[in-house]
Structure 1
Amino acid sequence: MSPDVFAFVLVAAFLHASWNAMAKSGKGDPLIQAGRIAVGSAVAAVPALLVSGLPDAASSVHLVGSALIHVAYFVLIGLAYRYADYSAIYPLVRGSAPLFTTLLAMLLLGETLKPVTWLGIGILCGGILGLGIDAVRRGGLNVRSLTIAALTAATVVGYTLVDGVGARLSGNSTGYLLAMMALTGAFMIFGMIRFQGAALFSAPASVWGKSVAAGAIANISYGTALWAMTKAPIGLVGAVRETSVLFAALIAAVVLKERFGIARWASALMIVTGLALAKAG
């Protein structure tokens, strides 16, 4: 992975942790907030799509499939933050995904990585999961929230692989991302009208403004990651992107004022070490 791609993926990681914190930190049900952010992503995507242009038709199946997976992702993220702390659930969701994404990319797409990169990914995943295990030890997670975390991680693996291939087929990774998020928002609007109509339309303009801003951040974050997947192995990009957990740790401790002890900082150090080894590979 070249230094410029590496730097952009780190920026994407920070932005991802930021919009997730926005989904957790606002007032009201996190499930509703996650749905609004999905809709906000679509609102931000449509005008940008007029500039970027549509992706190639060869990626259409991947685009629709990814949109459906993303609907499930936003719903599960909302449920996860409804039942657990941000600093507890985020590491588990993001931490279990990179290793499985890398393994599946190797098995299904034929991607290969150097031994030092595998070592880095392993340490990276260990540090990320260490943050989650500490949350379990502190009582911040239960069987329900762990189940939701596992399902959410599965959607992360799913859309990462689908979008990694779709972006390559699209000939226009930016257009692919924007079209996918616009479609995701359309699906989400339909679902929210069906099940949460009052919550969707009763929010004041200020709340929707924040949702559109968070959605735009989500678009930039994931769009940057998709672009990187056209320049470097999907598994490696996915692993480096999960350093968003390190940024999430800082946000949880400084902004959300959640408890953060030595074990969590030690896990954060493992993330940095794993990141360095993955980059060296």
Structure 2
Amino acid sequence: MFSYTGGVVLFAAVLHASWNAMLHGNRDRFLSMTWMSIAIGVVSACVVLYLPLPPKAAWPYIVASGLVHIVYNVSLVRSYRRGDLAQAYPIARGSSPMLVTLGAAIFAHEAIGPLHALGIALISGGIMALALQGGRVSRAGALAALTTGVTIAIYTVIDGIGVRLSDGEALTYTAWMFMFYWLMPVIFVAKRGAPALWSPLTETPMAVGSSLAGGLVSIAAYGIVIWAMQAGAMGAVSALRETSVVFAALIGRVFLQEPVSAKRWLACVVVAAGAVCLGL
């Protein structure tokens, strides 16, 4: 798994932690996610103009993944309302690799060796340990984060299968799937009205700017993951991506002033050990 592909997925993990920190750092996360989605939609619309259409076999997966991503976006916003980045993010991300591995085995007939299975287990266990320390996770917060984790697993398996049916056109697959992010501003306007979407352009332009930047980072981060799943095992790619929680803990500590205890650093070491297992 380590080699060029593994290194690129680790880079995607850094990007992933970064855009989540941008989202969590904004006061109105629903608004922030909507502007992130607008940035993603604009980039995707520009890209699809210059690429061929995906194969017919990939379209059901593109549509299904796009819709699940919208559910994920809404669920992620809810989970960040109920917990800090160092808790909600690990629960959401830590619950997904094992679910992805199970889904890949059932729907894509993937098999992994014992060492990679150990690596996935260490990463998931270490991530969950990061979230559960201190006993400050509310039931509602944990449920929201776990729901987010389930949606992550669902869209990851869908995309893992779908990109393999795209005849090597990972960029085309990714761009068309991200076109569904145009649904986010529709949902936002339906709930709050158009003025609530456009007025921040003049009232809080810095927050809108950071959200747009987060959208660009997000599309790069997940685009890399989809590319990696063309050949790599879904569970291993997912687990390696979720090492982003280590970077999220660092970002939360440095930029958001969230505490990181010695036990949390130990859990990060466990996650790193799991990543090493995936690379052997």
Normalising by the smaller structure, the TM-score range is over 0.9
Residue 29 of structure 1: how far off its partner (Å): 1.7
What TM-score do the two structures reach when normalised by structure 2? 0.94
Partner-residue secondary structure (3-state), 1:220: helix
User: Deviation at 1:52?
Assistant: 4.0
Q: Name the SS for the 2:112 alignment partner.
A: coil
Structure 1 equivalent of residue 190 of structure 2? 194
Alpha-carbon distance in 2 for matches of 1:92, 1:188: 24
**Separation in 2 of the partners of 1:30 and 1:189?**
13
Q: Give the TM-score of the pair, scaled to structure 1.
A: 0.94
Write the mapping of 1:169-188 to structure 2, written as runs, cut at 5 A. Answer: 169-171=165-167, 172-183=169-180, 185-188=181-184
Which AA in structure 1 matches 2:165?
L
CA distance in 1, matches of 2:97, 2:211: 27
Matched residues in 1 for 2:48 and 2:255: separation?
A: 33
Counterparts of 2:192 and 2:6 in 1: how far apart (Å)? 40
For 2:62, give the aligned amino acid: L
Residue number in structure 1 paired with 2:132: 133
Q: Distance in 1 between matches of 2:211 and 2:175?
A: 16
Aligned residue for 2:7?
7
The CA deviation at 1:31 is 2.2
Match of 1:150 in 2: 146
Equivalent position of 1:116 in the other structure: 115
2: CA distance, partners of 1:246 / 1:119: 18
TM superposition shift of 1:67? 1.0
The separation in 2 between residues aligned to 1:34 and 1:128, in whole angstroms, is 24
Q: Number of aligned pairs?
A: 275
C-alpha separation in 2, matches of 1:243 and 1:53: 34
What is the aligned partner in structure 1 of residue 44 from structure 2? 45
- CA shift for structure 1 position 57: 2.4
CA distance in 2, matches of 1:255, 1:2: 29
Partner SS, residue 110 of structure 1: coil
- Partner residue of 1:160? 156
Question: Residues 10-33 of structure 1, C-alpha deviation per residue, up to 9 Å, x if partnerless?
Answer: 01111011001000112x321221
Match of 2:222 in 1: 222
- Structure 1: 5+ residue stretches without partners: none
> What stretches of structure 2 of length at least 5 have no aligned partner?
none
Percent identity of the aligned residues? 33
Partner of 2:266, secondary structure, is helix
Q: Which residue of 2 aligns with 1:32?
A: 31
The alignment's C-alpha RMSD in Å is 1.4
Aligned with 1:230: secondary structure?
A: coil
